[in-house]
Structure 1
Amino acid sequence: MHPRRQKRLIAVVLVISLLASAIGAMLYALQQNIDLFYTPSQLVDGLGKDKIKPQVGQRLRIGGMVVNGSVTRDPDSLKVSFDLVDTGPIVRVTYEGILPDLFREGQGIVAQGVLIDATTIAASEVLAKHDEEYMPPEVAEALKGIKHVPPSQQGAANATSTEGRY
C-alpha cells in the first residue's frame, strides 16, 4: 500500500472513530433526560410483551385519571397526594408544590417524577389537560377504554340516564 493511501485510510478511520465516540457521548448524556411514559396498569403489570417494569429510582412520566375522593392535602405544607387510575390498578402520586389550576378529581393528568416503590411516585411536575378535548397522544392511546364524563356534562349524563326509569 502506498504511503499516500495509508495516510488517507488512517485519516478516514480517525474521523469515523471520532464521530462514533461523539455520538456515543451524546447518547450517554441524553440517557439521563429520557423519561419513559407509563399508565398505572403498565407501571404495575409491566410494559410490552416481556412485561418489563421500571426500577425503583427511575425517572418516568405517568398519565391517568385522578380518582374521585383520593386527593389529600397536608394542612401545614404544599404536599399533596392522590391516586391515578386507567383501566386497572391504582398508583399513588405524591407531589409538593402548587398544582395546576385545571387539576381536579376525575381529571386526566400527566405527572413526571421518580418511582419510589411499585405503586408510588414522587412527582416533580404535574400537568393537567388544557381543555376537555385535548389530551397528549400517548395518554389518549393508553386511556381509550375509559369513559370519562367531563364535570360540565355530568349533570346532563345523570339526567339522561334516569329519564327512562320513571
Structure 2
Amino acid sequence: MKNLKKQRRIQIIVVTVVALVVSVTLIGFAFKDGINLFRSPTQVMEDPPRKGEVFRIGGLVLEGSLIRGEGTSVTFSVTDTNKTVPVSYTGVLPDLFEENQGMVGTGTLQNGVFVASEILAKHDETYMPKEVVDALKEQGVYKPTSE
C-alpha cells in the first residue's frame, strides 16, 4: 500500500513536469512571432536586424520623400533626424498619414529597405506614438507641440 502511494506521487510529479514543459514550449513559440521590438532609424542603421526579423520602426516621415506608385504602392523615408531609412508599403495608408508627422510601421528590412506590412499614423493633431517620442528625445530633437 505504501509503495502504491509513492508510485502515484511520482506519476503525478512526472505528468506535472511534462505539462509544464509543453506549456512553456507552446508559449515560447507563440511569442516568437508575436513580439515586435521597436527600433528607431538610427538603431536600424547602426545595428541592422537579422534577416527576416519582424520589428517596428518609428519616426517622422521625411518631407519630400512620399512617392505614390501604381495602385496602393507607396514609398517614403522615415527619420529620427539623425538617420533615415527608406520604407516601401503596399496597402491603404491611414487618413492622417502625411509628411513631417509621426508614424510607426511593422515589417522587415530587405536589402536596406524597410518593407512594411502595417503602417500606423498619429490619430489627432497632438498625438505622437510613445516610441517615436522616446527615440526623438534620445536624439535630443524632440519638440513637444503646444496645446
Q: TM-score range by the shorter chain?
A: 0.7 to 0.9
State the aligned residue count: 144
Please list the CA deviations of residues 109-137 of structure 1 after superposition, one character each: whole Å capped at 9, or x if unmatched: 001112112x3111111111112332332
Query: What CA distance in whole angstroms lies between the structure 2 residues aligned with 1:10 and 1:137?
Result: 50
RMSD: 2.2
Which residue of 2 is the match for residue 90 of structure 1?
Answer: 84
Shift of 1:35: 1.3
**Residues 1:149 and 1:34: Cα distance change in structure 2 (over 3 Å):** closer
Query: What CA distance in whole angstroms lies between the structure 1 residues aligned with 2:119 and 2:78?
Result: 12
Match 2:63 to one of 68, 81, 89:
68
Which residue of 1 is the match for residue 11 of structure 2?
Answer: 10
Shift of 1:66: 0.6
Which residue of 1 is the match for residue 36 of structure 2?
Answer: 35
Which residue of 2 is the match for residue 126 of structure 1?
Answer: 119
CA contact (8 A) 2:42 2:82 kept: yes
CA contact (8 A) 2:62 2:100 kept: yes
Q: Which AA in structure 2 matches 1:104?
A: E
Percent identity of paired positions between Structure 1 and Structure 2: 40
TM-score (norm 2): 0.86
Please list the CA deviations of residues 5-55 of structure 1 after superposition, one character each: whole Å capped at 9, or x if unmatched: 232022112212212212211221221222111110011112xxxxxx311
Shift of 1:102: 0.8
Q: Which AA in structure 1 matches 2:31?
A: L
TM-score (norm 1): 0.77
For structure 1, the residue ranges without an aligned partner over 5 or more in a row are 47-52, 151-166
Indicate yes or no: 2:101 matched with 1:107. yes
CA contact (8 A) 2:87 2:113 kept: yes
For structure 2, the residue ranges without an aligned partner over 5 or more in a row are none
Secondary structure at 1:16 match in 2: helix
